[in-house]
Amino acid sequence: MKLIAGVDIGNSTTEVCIGGIKEDGRIRYLSSCKRATTGTKGTLANVSGIKDALEEAMGILNKSVNELSLIRINEATPVIGDTAMETITETIITESSMIGHNPSTPAGAGQAVGTILYMEHLNQGKAEIPYIIAAGSETTYEEIARQINQYSNRLNIAGLILQADEAVLVWNRLKNKIPVVDEVKRIYQIPEFKVAAIEVALVGQSIRMLSNPYGIATLLKLNGEETKAVTPIAKSLIGKRSAVVIKTPHGNVKENILPAGEIYIESDQIYSVNIDSGAERIMEVLENAGTIKDISGQADSNIGNMLNNIKTGMGKVIEETDRNIKITDILAVDTLAPVPISGSLAGETCMEKAVGIAAMVKTEQLPMRKIAEELKRQLHIYVKVAGVEAIMATLGAITTPGTTLPLAILDLGGGSTDAAIIDRDGKVKATHQAGAGELVSMLIQTELGLTSRHTAEQIKRYPLAKVESLYHMRLENGGMHFFEEPVEPKYFGNVVLLHPDEMIKIEEDIPLEKIALIRKEAKRKVFVKNAVRALLKIAPDHNLRSISNIVLVGGSAEDFEIPEMLMEEFANYKIVCGRGNIRGTEGPRNAVATGLVLSYAGGSHGNE
């Protein structure tokens, strides 16, 4: 029995199917496995991950890799995602003109306006001036409270700013209760003797004055031009519980605007669309452009820099010049992104409209041929680049029990969404489009302001809950779950992800409802819209109602909510849609790898 391997190199995972070809040409599926893809899809760095996956799959059979007669790999295109901002306004603060802040543990409630005075200069204060006192972490909270209580008898102390995380400890010891904001790490960059406004909201509420540009203007007595300049600060403080804004009359506030720029789409002619038009308009122009040769961006603009970086980055990886690298498809998605306010004292950001982009990159060289040659050199086994991903996925999907021709498939991967239709005569029509799981992760990370892409990946994969006591948690669907034993105290009061093996604590202080909403919207923007876009391209007469059955395959088809979203969408067209179960054993995974094995035998298959 001849042993062959089908290898599917994806953006995130590399999957292998080992098949035995009998003398009569029938297939016996023997083993399968998946490993993380090493390097960028379609580059020589993939070879290491392929070898690991082959060793694991053959190890299941207690055989070595050199017993394989043939390795068949998919023809695939790298897909790279990045974010293009729409209307980036960077507020550069010199001499600390305006500073926003949002500590998580303030104390007291209300607003206060006064002149900044360092704690060590309390003895220089004047009775007729209201003061906001700034205290460094070198002074203990007991000493801070003692001095504030002592000087309150002769000074008008309206509020307090602390460097340490000790607002509650100080506030509890004050005779006259005032709003206290803490965690201003660079406290001595606050200019002394300048006017400041601080605000602390009641528990469960958010500030109102300092999150409103006219509120800031009221407290700090700003003119029209100054009010316009503080708008980014006000926006950055929306929904926060506490804030401090400081005005220096001689400070400089200026704006640097990098234009969002235009996208140029080259087909039979050059089409252009500005990023400011939004994702819907970008995709409309893209669909009307026909067969795309290349996509580029306006020079010295945000989108131009982003697309150039994608081409340059891919050129370095595959050692090819930029002019030989073409972007043949993009998926644009509207989103919001936190833009840093330069010069602030606590890393403040404000949310600005942005466009998320996934780009499909093609090169004049055939990267999979290089991979095949390197595998052959290292393993001394014949390696063949066997077919287009979508077509191979369709062949694999047919092994799902209950399927019949004609059949459509959606291969939901990490970098791309592939669609194909196979008719009753076995003819396949396919399309390969940018945008899938990695773009979803990028949108989640961007909109939630997460520092780690890994955290965004976990949020994408697992449902949420809020641990409300040591014995119960509230699920994101509103249900309650009770524990037989008390949970670890570290989870108490925190949002967690429900991994099958353990709860994963989300370190960022973000409400459960916000995380769930952004996660679901990111998946709808990417997967639902891209699935419809892909199927419209290949459906008979470009009519979705001409499709009767859709099988979902690929890593993202394992997601706990994406298949349900797609089932709801396609139910409107009376389409039967569901997760595939490749060979009746693999679930939606391994479709391409299985198709590569199946296509070798001309389509006859059996699972003995």
> pLDDT digit string (tens) for 195-216?
999 999 888 788 999 889 999 9
Each residue's pLDDT tens digit, 359-417: 888 776 567 888 999 999 999 999 999 878 888 999 999 999 988 888 999 999 888 89
Do 102 and 242 lie in one domain? The reply is: yes
| Separation between Cα atoms, residue 460 and residue 436, nearest integer Å | 12
pLDDT in tens, 7-16: 999 888 999 9
- 104 with 223, same domain: the answer is yes
Terminal-residue alpha carbon distance, the chain: 14
Q: Is the pLDDT of residue 244 over 60?
A: yes
Q: What is the pLDDT of residues 487-545, one digit of tens each?
A: 999 999 999 999 999 999 999 989 999 999 999 999 999 999 999 999 999 999 889 99
Q: Are residues 102 and 232 in the same domain?
A: yes
Does residue 225 sit in the same domain as residue 349? no
Q: Within this chain, do residues 232 and 314 fall inside the same structural domain, yes or no?
A: no
Counted domains in the chain: 3
Confidence of residue 84 (pLDDT cuts 50, 70, 90): low
pTM of the model: 0.76
Co-location of 228 and 136 in the same domain: yes
Q: Is residue 225 part of a domain?
A: yes
pLDDT band at 95 (very low <50, low <70, confident <90, very high): very low
Residue 380 resides in a domain: no
Domain assignment of residue 332, yes or no: yes
The range of the structural domain enclosing residue 323 comes to 81-89+269-363
Nearest alpha-carbon partner for 566 in 438, 434, 394, 408: 408
**CATH assignment of the domain containing 182:** 3.50.30.70
- The edge-to-edge listing of strands for the beta sheet with 549-553 is 428-434, 416-422, 407-412, 549-553, 576-579
For residue 411, how many other CB atoms are within 10 A of its CB? 33
- Quote the tokens at residue 60: 């299941």
- CATH code where residue 466 lies: 2.40.50.140
pLDDT value for 277: 85
Residue 340 lies inside a defined structural domain of this protein: yes
Domain-ending residue, one of 347, 363, 379: 363
349 plus 478 within the same structural domain: no
- The string of DSSP codes covering 265-281 is EESSSEEEEEGGG-HHH
Q: Is residue 221 part of a domain?
A: yes
pLDDT tens, position by position, 544-602:
999 999 999 998 999 999 999 999 999 999 999 999 999 999 999 999 999 999 988 76
Whose structure tokens read 């909109």? 447
- Chain-centroid distance of CA 227 in Å reads 33
Provide CB contacts within 8 A for 212, sequence distance 6+: 234
- Provide the CATH number for the domain around residue 351: 3.90.470.30
Pair of tokens at residue 378: 């290292």
DSSP structural state of residue 202: P
Q: How far is CA 95 from the centre of its chain?
A: 35
Residues composing the chain: 608
Is residue 299 domain-shared with residue 215, that is, in the same domain? no
Please tell me whether residues 195 and 162 are part of one structural domain: yes
CA distance 487 to 96: 45
Q: Which of 310, 308, 316, 311 is nearest to 44 (CA)?
A: 316
CA 430 vs. chain centroid, Å, equals 27
User: What single string gives the DSSP state of each residue in 376-412?
Assistant: HHHH-SEEEEEEEHHHHHHHHHTTSTT--SSEEEEEE
pLDDT tens per residue, range 246-305: 876 554 444 445 677 899 999 999 999 988 888 899 999 999 998 899 999 998 788 888
Under DSSP, is residue 359 helix (H, G, I), strand (E, B) or coil?
A: strand
CA distances from 49 to 272, 375, 454 (A): 40, 11, 20
Q: Which residues pair with 327 in a beta bridge?
A: 361
Domain presence at residue 200: yes
